[in-house]
Structures are given as C-alpha cells and as structure tokens.
Structure 1
Amino acid sequence: MAKKIEVVAAVIQHEGITLCVQRGPSKLAYIHEKFEFPGGKVEVGESRECAIKRELKEELHLSVEHVDYFMTVEHTYPDFHITMHAYLCPVENRKIVLTEHIDAQWLNREELPSLDWAEADVPIVEKLLRN
C-alpha cells in the first residue's frame, strides 16, 4: 500500500497575479523541476491553517495573515498518495525569498497552463481557470 501524506498548498495572490514556484532536482522523475503551489506537510497536532502559515514562512520568508480554503486534491503518485488542501492566500506585496525552490514566477490566470505543473497541482490550476 502506498504511503499517505497530508499536505497544504498556498495559492498566493497579489493584485490578480498568482505565485508559481519550481521544485528543484529530484530523484522522483514525476516531480523533478515541476512547478507547484508552495506548501508542505501538516505536522501532527497542527491545524491546516497553521501549517500553511508555517510552511510559507520557512520556504519563502513570507507572512500571511488570511487564508481561505479553496479545494482538496487526492492524487496517487507511483511512490505515495497525497491529500493536498489548497488555500487562497492574498498578500500585500510580492517580496519572497526562495529557500527550497529554484524559480518563482508571478503569472496571471491565463498564463498558468504554460508551466509544467506537478500532477497533483493541475486540478488547482484548472479550478483557478474556471473561477
């Protein structure tokens, strides 16, 4: 049975533009250098909202005050199953510091499909395009 992981993802938006971050090199070919919405694992005893705020501070040196639930994605990769809870996170400015990712792009909604997304993030992109 595949390992199960619960994670949170942030759809960070500023003035109608969305932050997309690129993963670094990985031994797992299916996520190697793919774009994703930043976030990470929910720690034991931690709320999802606290997890997203912690992860953004760690990964991007970004503080967010307000998060709104957007959707949950269930996806099975070859090595694990992921339950990803996505949150809309409006921010006051675009100042970030990349600590884990190799690139970041701020794109308008129509540009989102141009990136090579991790499979689990694709449903989030699709919902953003519909809204």
Structure 2
Amino acid sequence: MGELKVIDVTCALIVDSQNRVLAAQRSSTMSLPLKWELPGGKIELNETPEECLVREIKEELDIEIKILKKLQSNTHTYPNIIVNLIPFISKHVSGVISLKEHASYQWLDGNELLDLDWAEADVPILHNYLNTLNAI
C-alpha cells in the first residue's frame, strides 16, 4: 500500500436570507453515494481556495455566491484518500439552483442540519459552524 494522497477541497456553507444552510445530496454515481455534503470541490493548480469555491458552486449549482468568512479546516481520512476540507460561510447572491451533479438539495435550519446522513468529513465542519452561531 502506498501512502494516501491528500487533496485540498473547498466547501460552502451557503446561507440564505433566513439563515438556512444549503445541503446537497451526492448522486448515486459519485463516491459516497447519496450522502449529504456541503457543495464545493477540489482546488486546481494556481487557484486560491476562494476562487475554487466560487467556480465549483457555479459549475455544480449554477449560482453565484459571495464568500463571507473562512472556518477552520478539517482533515478526514477515508479508506482511499485524505481530504483536507476548507469551509467558507457564503451567501447566495444570484441565480436559481440547477443541479449539475447532485441528486437533490435542501435548505436547512441550524437545528435540522445534523439530521441528514452527511459525508464524514463534513460533520466536524457542521459542528464548528453551529458552535460559531451559538457564540453570537
């Protein structure tokens, strides 16, 4: 067995005007099929995390976002890869959500967020996000 590769991935806690967070369900053909995740994607060469996130959200959901705040990253080891997940609180600026890769999406209040079957790497980020809300 070779060493697992670490990939840097961004994700967005996209918040709407009612402070609900967008959750996206992975399609049945993606890795971690039908798990829920915070949308985002892999950082490409010479791309900042912020540039990556804006691009990925446009590609995956066809909406424009504005990044508000970076949260603490979470590194998670899956059986075949290590993901360094870099989260940003963002707001939906324009566009209507059109799913390009995902099976479904939901807008969730903070007290509903942890009810879904999330991809493991996203769970600590959700807890951290909820803790920041409670600290206000």
Residue identity opposite 2:110 in structure 1: R
TM-score by length of 1: 0.92
Mapping of residues 119-130 of structure 1, within 5 Å? 119-130=120-131
1:6 aligns with 8
> Are the counterparts in 2 of residues 109 and 128 from structure 1 also a CA contact under 8 Å?
no
Q: Distance in 2 between matches of 1:18 and 1:118?
A: 16
Which ranges of structure 1 fall in alignment gaps of 5 or more residues?
none
1:48 aligns with 49
Describe the shift of the 1:86–1:27 C-alpha distance in structure 2 as closer, same or farther (beyond 3 A). Answer: closer
| 1:25 and 2:28 are equivalent in the alignment | yes
CA RMSD of aligned residues (A): 1.6
CA deviations 1:85-124 (Å, max 9, x no partner) are: 0000012468311100000000000001110000000011
Describe the shift of the 1:45–1:38 C-alpha distance in structure 2 as closer, same or farther (beyond 3 A). Answer: same
Mapping of residues 1-131 of structure 1, within 5 Å? 1-14=3-16, 15-26=18-29, 28=31, 31-92=32-93, 95-130=96-131, 131=133
How many residue pairs were aligned?
129
Residue identity opposite 1:16 in structure 2: N
Residue identity opposite 2:99 in structure 1: L
- The structural deviation recorded for 1:128 is 2.3
Describe the shift of the 1:128–1:66 C-alpha distance in structure 2 as closer, same or farther (beyond 3 A). Answer: closer
- The structural deviation recorded for 1:65 is 2.9
Q: Secondary structure at the match of 2:105?
A: strand
Which ranges of structure 2 fall in alignment gaps of 5 or more residues?
none
Q: Secondary structure at the match of 1:12?
A: strand
Q: Secondary structure at the match of 1:65?
A: strand
Q: Secondary structure at the match of 1:74?
A: strand
Matched-pair identity in %: 36
> Are the counterparts in 2 of residues 13 and 88 from structure 1 also a CA contact under 8 Å?
yes
TM-score by length of 2: 0.89
Structure 1 runs of 4+ off > 6 angstroms? none
